[in-house]
A and B are shown apart, each in its own frame.
Chain A
Amino acid sequence: MAVKDYIRERFFPHMWCPGCGHGIVLNSLLRGVEQLGMSKNEIVMVSGIGCSSRISGYVDFHSLHTLHGRALAFATGVKMSKPELNVIVPMGDGDALAIGGNHFIHAARRNIAMTAIVMNNRIYGMTGGQYSPLSGYGTAATTAPYANIDHDFDVVQLAKAAGASFVARTTTFHARQMTDILKSAIVHDGFSVVEILTQCPTYFGRKNKMGGAAEMMEWFRDNTTPIGSKAKQENPDLIERGIFVQEEKQEYCAEYENVIKRATGGRS
């Protein structure tokens, strides 16, 4: 199936600003799905609200458009009703970790098989550039005109600690790595978290004098490094990219199948 067949063409042109990183995520994701040879009938995309969540409007998968922050909770219900489907949940940093932070840690803890994509642009893009739990100390936003004093989460550490069995990070500069990671995340049998550093030139870039989209992507190139690289040892401030966790662990739906079998003595 060609990448184009996964798209709802009638919803284009998309609503993202020029240079927004979310389109790169869409592109890499569709390439990954295509390379995996998946039919669009076996994928459900569940999204919340935010510029990032608009991804679900542009793909021709079954899609459930839900409330801000609640996508993982809805997705848990979808997955439990049809465990055979592949559930992909694209979220913004605010969506996943501000209002949806509780669902995030609990979905990870349960290790329910789905792919949580955190499109981290370090800002609430859709509502006009207020700081998020990922903006970080010292950054500027419309709600922090001079400097933010809130510390940020480390999504990778958080996901690890909460129990996700697949945890990875990449950026929009590394579009091919993104495709590879997303493929591994989608086929992984457990809760997968993929943090993607993405640029919001309109708000985060402008407020923090990061330049345009190209400069912001160059920042991703210059400030990230593969996990365990020599560069990281020399410069601990570099952000690591790659797959941090990929382990086998009891998956929630499979475990529930066992519960049903036990409870019904195999009669169901």
Chain B
Amino acid sequence: MKEVVEGSHAVSEAVRLARVQVMSAYPITPQTHIVEALSEYCADGRMAARFICVESEHSAMAAVIGAASGGVRTFTATSSHGLALMHELLHWASAARLPIVMAEVNRALGPGWNIWMDQTDSLAQRDTGWIQLYCEDGQEVLDTTLLAFRLAESASLPVMVVLDAFFLSHTYEPVDIPDQASVDRFLPAFQPRIQLDTQDPFALSQMAPPGCYMEMRHDIEAGMRRIPEHYTAAEEAFASVFGRRYGMLEAYRCEDADIILAMAGTAVSTSRQVVDDLRERGEKVGVLKLRMFRPFPAALLASLAGDARKIAVLDRNFCFGVGGIFAQEIRAALYLMDSRPPVYSYIAGLGGRDVTPETIEEIYVRTKQSERPAPESVWIGLDPAACPVCRTD
């Protein structure tokens, strides 16, 4: 049934429908609405689950790792500093091969305390062995959360569902909330692969000496390599029940595009509009929506965007000393092609600054007009009055 809900509640509705059994979280803006709704579902009986409101995010992830080791379906949600605090446990969850699902609301890191949209928090966790799926709108948030459980459980790896702070977490949109029976058809009860079993006791997460540590890591990597296959199967099943599918990446009007704009999150919606407008003016431009990150679908990326003359990446994140993170990843993904389009890297919309149609059009125009990419990321919209570096006086 279609209801008007905010992005946060699209997450909590999906978690309810997924019949999660144990959840744990610590509140942090802008994740709070997700966990408040879940507390309510547990309190009023809409969910037969336990919600543990712990004393920090570190404890939240530890608690869901414990619960997942006990063989139940688990969920947590966080943002920004909460995610950073979980870092140690993120490695633990993936290496223990536990299919935990987490909603992560993209928010800036301090200092310079800032509660607004920024992707650096989740991208900084790219080496932790978590699958990351970025969402564009409320429906996609709900669908991706459901899909995440199936993907996590089929791959025995944890999944992070990522949504923009406020632009998505707090925006109300019509979302089709499926009925329980359909969700049950798509997502059967969790069959744990790894589980504490008191009838057959064994030790989880024990010491791994040099003689086996590498093999264990190689096994996780093999699991990661199979994600596209698992993902496609899960999406197939999802589409057969709900009729919707998103792909690992989505190419919008890219077939004959000279310039492809690439980005993740809600800015994709804005870019679709800009692309339509530019197309009306005869510009050959498309958008590549980055949805799956870790594993990064390099081969698919090459096939969808490899023929463009230029790729312009909009990063709402930054790696100091290098540049935009998605741009680096895309450059690396194209490296093995015989000939590849140059990748232009732009930084915009950090710490909640708006990415407007003008921002995106500026990126397009700059890319079109320049011969080759600048060696460093180009920052769009810096205010010279506020910027100590670019001030000229």
Contacts and interface: CB of A to CB of B under 8 A. Distances in A.
A65 B113 CA distance: 9
Contacts of A49: 113
Given A145-B40, A145-B44, A99 B55 contact: yes
B121 to A, nearest CB: 14
A133 B113 CA distance: 24
Interface string A146-183: 10001000000000000000000000000000000000
B35 interface: yes
B53 A150 contact: yes
A130 B81 contact: no
B269 interface: no
Interface string A107-148: 000000000000000001011101101000000001111100
Interface in B18-69: 26-29, 32, 35-36, 39-40, 43-44, 51, 53, 55-56
B110 interface: yes
22 contacts: A65-B113, A67-B110, A68-B81, A101-B55, A126-B29, A127-B28, A128-B27, A128-B29, A128-B36, A130-B32, A130-B36, A131-B53, A133-B55, A142-B36, A142-B39, A143-B27, A143-B35, A143-B39, A143-B51, A143-B53, A144-B53, A145-B39
Interface in B127-163: none
A74 to B, nearest CB: 11
Centre residue among B39, B55, B81 by max chain A CB count within 10 A: B55
Contacts of A99: 26, 55-56
A43 interface: no
B187 to A, nearest CB: 26
A49 B80 CA distance: 14
Interface in B163-198: none
Nearest to A147: B43
A109 to B, nearest CB: 19
A68 B39 CA distance: 23
B209 interface: no
A242 interface: no
B111 interface: yes
Given A145-B39, A145-B43, A145-B44, A130 B113 contact: no
Given A130-B32, A142-B39, 8 more contacts: A65-B111, A67-B110, A98-B55, A99-B56, A142-B32, A143-B27, A143-B35, A143-B51
Nearest to A127: B27
Centre residue among B27, B28, B36, B40 by max chain A CB count within 10 A: B27
Interface in B101-127: 110-111, 113
Contact of A130 (B27, B43, B56): B27
Contacts of A142: 32, 36, 39
Interface in A3-23: none
B76 to A, nearest CB: 13
A144 B29 contact: no
A144 B28 contact: no
A101 B27 CA distance: 16
Interface residues of A, number: 22
Interface of B: 26-29, 32, 35-36, 39-40, 43-44, 51, 53, 55-56, 81, 110-111, 113
Interface of A: 49, 65, 67-69, 97-99, 101, 124, 126-128, 130-131, 133, 142-146, 150
Contacts of A98: 26, 55-56
A143 B34 CA distance: 10
Nearest to A140: B43
A144 B51 CA distance: 10
B391 to A, nearest CB: 22
A124 B56 contact: no
Nearest to B39: A143
Contacts of A131: 53
Given A65-B113, A142-B39, A144-B43, A128 B53 contact: no
Contacts of B36: 128, 130, 142-143
Contact of A144 (B32, B39, B81, B110): B39
Contacts of B55: 97-99, 101, 133
B229 to A, nearest CB: 39
B29 A127 contact: yes
Contact of B53 (A101, A126, A130, A146): A130
Nearest to B26: A99
Contacts of B111: 65
A146 B44 CA distance: 8
Contacts of B39: 142-145
A150 B40 CA distance: 16
Contact of A67 (B27, B43, B81): B81
A69 B85 CA distance: 11
Nearest to A66: B111
Nearest to A49: B113
A97 B55 CA distance: 8
Contacts of A124: 27
A49 B29 CA distance: 12
A265 to B, nearest CB: 41
Contacts of A146: 43-44
A124 B32 CA distance: 11
Given A128-B36, A143-B35, A145-B40, A69 B29 contact: no
A254 B246 CA distance: 63
A143 B40 CA distance: 7
B32 A127 contact: yes
Contact of A128 (B26, B32, B43, B56): B32
Nearest to B111: A65
Give the top 3 A-B pairs by smallest Cβ distance, nearest first. Answer: A98-B55, A99-B56, A143-B39
A144 B39 CA distance: 7
A118 B26 CA distance: 20
